[in-house]
Amino acid sequence: MKYKPYSSPLEAHIDLIRSMRRGRKTWPEISAHLEREHGLKTSHKTIQNFFKHSINRKQLPLGFEPLGNPNRLLDRLRR
């Protein structure tokens, strides 16, 4: 029997979380929005840790590239 790797329910909302953070929303505001609009009840610390982990990798997953200067991504991967 094949098992799928664990996938966080927050992964489906990463673009929303990113746009809300760019809009200066706080972690508790994002948590409340996810619960109210998407039925996803989780603490603001869980969302913060998930987001921090997903953007602080040596190799970014496809679609997580930062906007702006693409050379910044190369510099980051070389570290």
Note whether residue 64 is domain-resident: yes
Note whether residue 72 is domain-resident: yes
- Our count of domains for the chain comes to 1
Q: Give CA–CA dist 75/36, Å, rounded.
A: 39
Question: Can you spell out the DSSP letters for 48-62?
Answer: HHHHHHHHS-SSPPT
Note whether residue 40 is domain-resident: yes
Least Cα distance to 54 among 79, 20, 5, 17 occurs for 17
Note whether residue 44 is domain-resident: yes
Tokens of 72: 């910044």
Note whether residue 16 is domain-resident: yes
Which residues span the domain enclosing 27?
Answer: 12-78
Note whether residue 39 is domain-resident: yes
Note whether residue 30 is domain-resident: yes
Q: Could you report the per-residue pLDDT of 17-49, keeping only the tens digit for each?
A: 999 999 999 999 999 999 999 999 999 999 999
The type of residue at 13 is H
More confident site: 51 or 31: 31
Q: pLDDT at position 52, please?
A: 85
